[in-house]
Amino acid sequence: MKKRVLQLTMLFGTLAALSACVSDSDLGVRNRALTEAESPLVFDYPGIEGGYRKFLAGRSVDYRQKYLQANYGPKSGAFPSLVLLFWKLTDVEYYYPKRSIDEQMTVFFDTPPNHSEPAFVVYTEGRADYVTFEDNGGHCMFFVVKWGGHLSSRGGNRELNGLFCDQSQIDSAKAEKVIKSVQVLNEGEVIKVANSEKPKKASGSAGQTSTMTGFKADRVEIIWNGVFDKQKLDINSRMYTSYDGVISFEDPKTGTCKGDFILDKALDQMKRGDLAKGSWNIECSAGQAAEGRLKLYQGDEGKVRVSGEGEDRQKNAISFTM
């Protein structure tokens, strides 16, 4: 059965693919590898203790979705194994609630395999629909859960997809055990892990190599064609991890705007004079939405400078500095 290659990164469908090494540089600016401690996706199931682990995080090509991927396998052999994909939209967008199970399965397969009639399990976040099938000598199960935001008609802005395979048959009791062994912690956000090594104290001299421990901005100067020419706004910012964070601001023309950003370098690994590149996106309560690229630079004097550019849905240009 041919597995599908995602736009974001390769989805590992077999143990051989799971064992492949993927570095952050291979994943590009939108995606990065996580440690197990950073991953909010947890699978506690017999047979995978001390086995293979691989965790990824990033954004879709259009930057409108965050995603997490978790891969679990045994110490040896091919079974049991699990691939989890967690998707998170902005708070004002929702996934289509009534897609068929075959449509849902295209996240893993070009052509969905022949499978059982759909069934469901009551999961902690809501209804988990699943089907079972045989693939590559194993007994497999696909499941999907949607929740968050708009809950009517089984919609939502959070989606969890899972592909589990084992050497033995999967009945309803086993399906329920597998699904309930999955946890999504920290509201699906990457878990911030304290750095055990304290950064060196900055002395303020040129050429200093001390690292950054975080970033916070409280003012932004922004030019947004079609919205305002040049505006200085109060902005709230907060880091989730040393790679990504959230931003928000308010203006009478846009209402409340919320969004986030992701960098290609960890701030706590950057030295003075280093440059980080990344992406940003925002959604506003007045209906505007925008996305683009940014640069973060730490000068020799220790001051952090951020600049960015992009466009909104109407193709109006945006630029800003912080």
Asked if residue 140 lies in contact with residue 165, where contact means CB atoms within 8 angstroms, the answer is: yes
Give per-residue pLDDT as tens, 269-282.
677 777 778 888 88
Give the CA distances from residue 67 to residues 8, 49, 176, 183, in Å, rounded to whole numbers and listed in that order.
Answer: 9, 25, 24, 15
Question: For residue 280, what are its two tokens?
Answer: 């940003």
On whether residue 203 sits in a domain, the answer given is no
Nearest residue to 311 via CA among 288, 285, 292? 292
Residue found under tokens 């040896």: 76
Do residues 88 and 173 share a domain? yes
Asked, for residue 199, whether it belongs to a domain, the answer is no
Whether 200 is covered by a domain: the verdict is no
Q: How many domains does the chain have?
A: 2
Q: Based on the fold, state whether residues 152 and 19 are members of the same structural domain.
A: yes
Q: How many whole angstroms separate alpha carbon 165 and alpha carbon 140? A: 4
Is residue 110, in this structure, part of any structural domain at all?
Answer: yes
Kindly report, residue by residue over 285-308, the tens digit of the pLDDT: 888 888 888 888 776 666 778 888
Structural domain contains residue 139: yes
Judge whether residue 188 has pLDDT over 80: yes
117-149, pLDDT tens digit by residue?
999 998 887 889 999 999 888 999 999 988 775
Q: Do the domain assignments include residue 242?
A: yes
**Residue carrying structure tokens 């802005």:** 157
Based on the fold, state whether residues 161 and 237 are members of the same structural domain.
Answer: no
Which of 165, 188, 211 marks a domain boundary? 188
Query: Which amino acid does the sequence have at 54?
Result: K
Give me the pLDDT at residue 26, please. 44
Condensed to tens digits (0 to 9), the pLDDT of residues 156-172 reads 678 899 999 999 999 99
Tell me if 264 is assigned to some domain.
yes
The pLDDT of residue 96 is 58
Q: Report helix, strand or coil for 102.
A: helix
Question: Distance (Å, rounded) from C-alpha 106 to C-alpha 62?
Answer: 19
Q: Please, what is the average pLDDT of the chain?
A: 76
Same-domain check for residues 77 and 169: yes
Domain match, 182 and 292 both: no
- Is residue 35 domain-shared with residue 126, that is, in the same domain? yes
Residue 123 pairs in a beta bridge with 126
Give residue 313's domain range: 219-321
pTM: 0.59
Distance in angstroms (rounded) separating the CA atoms of residues 138 and 170: 10
d(CA 34, CA 42): 13
CB–CB of 232/223 below 8 Å? no
Burial 87-124 (b: 16+ CB within 10 A, else e): bbbbeeebbeeeeebeebbebbbeebeebeebebbebe
Average pLDDT of span 194-222? 49
Residues 113 and 156 occupy one common structural domain = yes
Does residue 7 sit within a domain?
A: no
Encode pLDDT of 210-221 as tens digits: 344 455 667 888
Q: Identify the pLDDT of residue 80.
A: 94
pLDDT at 90: 62
Q: Which of residues 48 and 58 earns the better pLDDT score?
A: 48
Tell me, yes or no, whether 103 and 50 share the same domain. yes
pLDDT at residue 92, rounded to an integer? 53
Within this chain, do residues 157 and 258 fall inside the same structural domain, yes or no?
Answer: no
- The pLDDT tens digits of the residues spanning 226-252 come to 998 888 888 877 765 666 777 888 889
Query: Based on the domain organization, do 140 and 99 belong to the same domain?
Result: yes
47 and 96 together in one domain: yes
Taking the C-alpha atoms of residue 181 and residue 177, their distance in angstroms, rounded to an integer, is 6
Same domain, residue pair 153 and 62: yes
Long-range contacts of 111-116 (CB under 8 A, 24+ apart): 111/1, 111/2, 113/1, 115/142
